[in-house]
Amino acid sequence: MKEPAVVHPDADTLCDLDAGLLKDTAGEADLQAHVAGCASCADLLALLATTRERLAALPQEPMPVDVATRMDAALAAAAAAQTVTPRPATVAAVPSLRSPRRSSGIRWLRGVGAVAAGAALLMAGGIGVRALGGPSDRSPLAGVTEGRSAPATGSPPAISEVRNYTPATLADGVRALLPGRAADGAARQSNPSAAPLPLGTRQTAAESAALARLRAPAQLAACVAELAGKQGVTPLAVDFALFQAEPAVVIVLPTADPTRVAAWVVGPACMKGHADRRHDELVSRAG
């Protein structure tokens, strides 16, 4: 009798044998013969069989309710966004920047400068956060912005006051971002006096920097397109803010249902192919 060619197979080989990868190969019979007489190899094969059984027996936890709810909401928001008809693109909105319709006076700028600035960016293209009080009009508001932030041309202020949204406050916050009763899609100013949120959370320079990329209109537009699932959707409002104390952008999109808007919260990495989604929900305009 000849000795088997394989004297002591390594573990990988035994794993392959166990997985049936060696079926009908020349060495299989020799291996089987070896294993039959080798306690340690037989042990490993038994252990592999046990491992397969253990894996198969792992309990399957159903999707938790909170996760399921979140998925439903996300899909509902996606469905709503998808059925919206494309709006005239950014160019059409520019005139409204030059003669902004504003429902409440000076107060809105303090707390939500970044909000309107985000919208302004999208409309006017690359003017920057300061553009809000700058070229858009000559009202005293300009002074407010200038006074509160570094007058660095073309770059966001080092420190601005932003909102810190949470899942609990998002809906109210979003309603506060929406234009008043004139829901014509052109007015994008906001009225913070209606906001029940603590305003004036300080955004540090680092947090502001985290979102800097998205302040570029093309980047923001790519992010919006990713959320909406198509190009050319103009947000109703954009707020560079915090969400649960993390830098985030709140983007409010119209839905097919005129009574509701889709509120998306995205992180700094929002781009084509990756929304960096933090939260979303459908928000009733009426509350």
Partner 1 sequence: MDGARNGIAVDAPTAKSDLELLRAHAAGDAQAFGELVRRHRDRLWAVALRTVGDREEAADALQDAFISAFRAATGFRGDSAVTTWLHRIVVNACLDRVRRRTARPTVPFPEAGPAEPAEPRDAMAERDTGLVIEAALAQLSVEQRSAIVLADIQGYSVAETAAILEVAEGTVKSRCARGRGRLAVLLAGLRNPDPSDGVEIQTGGSRSTTEGEGG
- Give the interface with partner 1 as residue ranges (CB under 8 A): 8, 10-12, 14-16, 18-21, 40, 43-44, 47-48, 50-52, 54-56, 58-64, 67-68, 70-72, 74-76, 78-79, 82-83, 229, 274-275, 277
Q: What is the largest CA-CA distance in the chain?
A: 103
Q: Which is nearer to partner 1, 22 or 221 (CB)?
A: 22
Q: Identify the CA nearest to 219 among candidates 189, 202, 201, 240.
A: 240
Q: Which is nearer to partner 1, 1 or 58 (CB)?
A: 58
Closest approach of partner 1 to the CB of residue 52, in Å? 6
Which two tokens mark 175?
């309603």
Closest approach of partner 1 to the CB of residue 162, in Å? 24
- Cα 89 to chain centroid, rounded: 22
Q: Which is nearer to partner 1, 163 or 279 (CB)?
A: 279
Closest approach of partner 1 to the CB of residue 89, in Å? 21
Q: Which is nearer to partner 1, 114 or 265 (CB)?
A: 265
Closest approach of partner 1 to the CB of residue 81, in Å? 10
Cβ proximity of 160 and 113 under 8 Å? yes
Closest approach of partner 1 to the CB of residue 118, in Å? 22
How many of the other CB atoms lie within 10 Å of CB of 74? 17
Closest approach of partner 1 to the CB of residue 80, in Å? 8
Cβ proximity of 34 and 6 under 8 Å? yes
Which two tokens mark 249?
């952008």
How many of the other CB atoms lie within 10 Å of CB of 16? 17
Q: Identify the CA nearest to 218 among candidates 121, 152, 287.
A: 121
Closest approach of partner 1 to the CB of residue 75, in Å? 5
How far is the CA of 238 from the CAs of 232, 248, 260, in angstroms? 15, 10, 16
Q: Which is nearer to partner 1, 202 or 230 (CB)?
A: 230
Rounded to whole angstroms, the Cα distance separating 63 from 82 reads 26
Q: Which is nearer to partner 1, 20 or 37 (CB)?
A: 20
Q: Which is nearer to partner 1, 239 or 280 (CB)?
A: 280
DSSP of 110-153: HHHHHHHHHHHHHHH-S--GGGGTTTT--STHHHHHHHHS---T
